[in-house]
Homo-oligomer: A and B are copies of this chain.
Amino acid sequence: MIIVMQTTATQEQVKKVEEKLVALGFKTHPIYGEVKTVIGAIGDKRLLDTQMITSMPGVENIVPIMKPYKLVSRELKQSKTIIQIDDIAIGGQEIVIMAGPCAVENEEVFFETARKVKAAGAKILRGGAFKPRTSPYSFQGLEEEGLKMLDIARKETGLKIVTEVVDTRDVEVVSRYSDILQIGARNMQNFRLLKEVGASGKPVLLKRGLSATIEEWLMAAEYIMSSGNPNIILCERGIRTFETATRNTIDISAIPVVKELSHLPIIADPSHATGTWKYVDALSKAAVAAGADGLIIEVHNDPSRALCDGPQSLRPEKFAQLMEELKPVALAVHRTI
């Protein structure tokens, strides 16, 4: 790291910072500029809280040179990680499609939707049993009853299941009924939950927080991986900006950026990002063209009766058509669907 000293820093202050750095195990290289002094500090001390140095008299700021994450970085592991769930490989040559309703609400509607997304080519079924809702008065999910429906749908269709877990106390039960644990955007920095899903060993779908930088998102993945679980799928789902024409702004650039920085697979969620089914088509194609390893799309048999996120759900026939249209886009970037 580089310590930038203030213009007014005294030689004594520079010396004290150097001494502190040496005491912490760094080798120091001061550079005396015309106006400011900077100190190069050598030593790969990711654990060091740089704040101790920042607060020392005469220090202007600290410029980290190394990334704060390690296990999830491409620097550590250059080959792409592939998450294998039986015969499904996420991060490989095939683009994996996850689809289903926002929430599991009604057995009949849910199974019908499940069968249709399977027929259209989806490999993984999504559906929420525990729903984090902005309002305490909104439908909060069927909880364990919903998990059981997911399990039945899994057995009946052969689809794998991804579903959200919102509380450390539920990790065990959700793990029992599902194949992938989803960490929602609002819980991306619920560090205790990250540690629990890390300890569970189950594949984790880690959604990006609404206002999380890519670095913070990778640090959240680092929490899971440093708890012993390397099976992480990152999911871009839109960030919060000033634009209100769409619910959030999908950050398509995050796809190539994450692929450069990390070995983990990354998928996109065009349904939550836009909040409107009309734009799901264009953004699904964009995400695939940009290199996404998968998509998670909301599909509902009857959006106008959905208890949750109806406006962003595709009808099954529209979803089937999108699946057809995505195939040539995938081929154009040397992938398959």
Interface, chain A (partner B; CB < 8 A) = 2, 4, 7, 29, 31-36, 38, 40, 42-44, 46-47, 49, 51-56, 63, 65-66, 68, 75, 132-140, 166-169, 186-187, 189-192, 195, 209-211, 213-216, 219, 222-223, 226-227, 239-246, 249-257, 260, 273-274, 278-279, 281-283, 285-291, 303-311, 313, 325, 328-329, 331-333
Contacts and interface: CB of A to CB of B under 8 A. Distances in A.
A285 B333 contact: yes
Contacts of A331: 328, 332
Max count, chain B CB within 10 A of own CB: residue among A53, A133, A243, A310: A243
Contact of A222 (B135, B222, B252, B260): B135
B29 A216 contact: no
B190 A213 contact: no
A283 B253 contact: yes
A135 B219 contact: yes
Copy total for this chain? 4
Contacts of A132: 189, 191
Contact of A136 (B168, B226, B260, B303): B226
A52 B241 contact: no
B211 A240 contact: yes
Given A42-B34, A168-B167, A289-B289, A52 B246 contact: no
A160 to B, nearest CB: 26
Contacts of A239: 241-243, 249
Contact of A249 (B4, B65, B253, B290): B253
Nearest to A249: B251
Contact of A44 (B4, B35, B219, B309): B35
Contact of A168 (B47, B169, B191, B310): B169
B253 A279 contact: yes
Given A214-B243, A331-B332, 17 more contacts: A33-B65, A40-B40, A49-B139, A51-B310, A132-B189, A135-B219, A136-B222, A136-B226, A213-B243, A241-B241, A241-B242, A243-B254, A250-B253, A282-B290, A285-B290, A286-B289, A328-B331
B190 A7 contact: no
B135 A309 contact: no
Nearest to A34: B44
15 contacts: A2-B2, A29-B31, A29-B40, A33-B42, A35-B44, A51-B308, A214-B245, A242-B242, A249-B249, A250-B252, A252-B282, A285-B333, A286-B287, A289-B329, A328-B328
Contacts of A195: 136
A64 to B, nearest CB: 10
A239 B248 CA distance: 13
A289 B291 contact: no
A267 B189 CA distance: 24
Residue among A166, A187, A285 with most chain B CB within 10 A = A285
A287 B288 CA distance: 11
Nearest to A211: B211
Given A211-B211, A241-B242, A257-B245, A285 B279 contact: no
